[in-house]
Amino acid sequence: MPPALVALLVGATCIALSPIFVRLADVGPTASAFWRVALAAPVLWPLAALAPRPGAWRASWPLLVAAGFAFAGDLAFWHWSIRFTSVANSTLLANLAAPFVTLALWLFWRQRPSRLFALGLGTALVGVAMLVHTSLSSSATALLGDTLGVVTAVFYAGYILAVKELRDAGARTFEVMAVSSSVTALFLLPVALASGEALWPQSVYGWLTLAGLAWISHCAGQGLIAYSLAHLPAAFSSVSLLFQPVMAAVFGWLLLAERLVPLQISGGVIVLVGIYLARRASA
Tell me the three state secondary structure of residue 254: helix
User: What tens digit of pLDDT does each residue of 239-264 get?
Assistant: 556 778 888 888 988 898 888 888 88
Residue 189's pLDDT is 95
Q: Residue 237 above 80 pLDDT?
A: no
Where are the chain's structural domains? 3-282
User: What tens digit of pLDDT does each residue of 21-33 get?
Assistant: 999 999 999 999 9
The stretch 97-103 carries a mean pLDDT of: 73
Residue 238's pLDDT is 56
User: What tens digit of pLDDT does each residue of 113-165 get?
Assistant: 678 777 877 887 888 788 877 776 767 788 889 899 999 989 988 888 887 77
Query: Poorest-confidence range of 59-63, 214-218, 232-236?
Result: 232-236
The stretch 230-234 carries a mean pLDDT of: 64
Please check whether residue 13 is in contact with residue 5, taking contact to mean a CB–CB distance below 8 angstroms.
no
* pLDDT top residue among 129 and 68: 68
Do you know the residue count of the chain?
Answer: 283
Residue 241's pLDDT is 65
Residue 268's pLDDT is 83
Spell 69-95 as b/e; 16+ CB within 10 A means b: bbbbbbbbbbbbbbbbbbbbbbbbbbb
Q: What is the DSSP letter of 212?
A: I
C-alpha–C-alpha distance, residues 67 and 110, integer Å:
22
Going by pLDDT thresholds of 50, 70 and 90, the confidence category of residue 206 is: very high
Residue 42's pLDDT is 95
Residue 141's pLDDT is 81
C-alpha–C-alpha distance, residues 49 and 185, integer Å:
20
pTM: 0.86
